[in-house]
Structure 1
Amino acid sequence: MSRQDAAPGASAAIGAALYGLATRAVRRLPRDMSITSAATLATLHRTGPRRITELARAEGVTQPAMTVLVRVMEESGLVERGGDPSDRRVTLVSLTEAGASYVRTRQRAGVDAFARLVDELADDEVEALVAALPALAHLAELEGRDREGSG
């Protein structure tokens, strides 16, 4: 089916369904840290060490707010600051093993929660989701590029 053949408003309906699902999923996550802290750890896990200014831009907060957040996470043993081998004036924030373990555990819990829900679907619904996997992966890629470029 082409985009022109899709029902009018299909993009908005799909967007609403995905947004609602993501919002409910975030609400179900453990409340042991702020969403911004968890997102910052996930960014570091996905991209590797980053400058505080880059993290602030990626997470949509001010540099002073990110500096405070990094300090708190550093005190908790989740991140560490280190020098940039290519420029000694630059400080990079990176995950510690405890931070990486936290991200993996949180991701695993989210995947397991969705897998339990998928197991309750009818076979034809599961087939539809399997068929949609390439489009969902592409959406995630587009969102990641948009997020990285929006600073």
Structure 2
Amino acid sequence: MAEIVSTGIERLDEALIDEKGITLGTCVLIEGSSGSGKELLSKQFASAGVGSENVVYFSTDETSDELINTFEQYRWPTDLRIVSVGTQYFEKVLSRELQASRFKQEGLSVSELRNLGSYGSTSDQINFVADMTYEISKLRAPFRV
């Protein structure tokens, strides 16, 4: 028989497989309209695995501090790995676009040109899907993402 894990929400577990949760190792898609509670459900599901499983929470629009504050507000465990894709995107892409915009308006000095180095080089770019895949590959089973 397959191992069942809790979603962290007792009433949801009761409505699922054999009133216990979901089958370990399955992929679950949470779908719904804006404001329906998908993110909160994801956070509660992630918090339910802390301590017994390896947990990584990928955030696209919240910082790590904002996520930790939400977890603390609901008194959920906070010792999980958080990967903030939004922060990475800002640091790797948007900050460079802001810098380029400033250069377009103000111009470049010779020293700034020297410091630019390999702006836009392939080795300095980031692939967010590859980064998430790498983070997941480092986890030992069982894990929650």
TM range (shorter): under 0.3
Write 1 or 2 for the structure with the bigger share of helix. Answer: 1
Higher relative contact order (CA 8 A, sep 6+): 2
| TM-score after normalising by structure 1 | 0.26
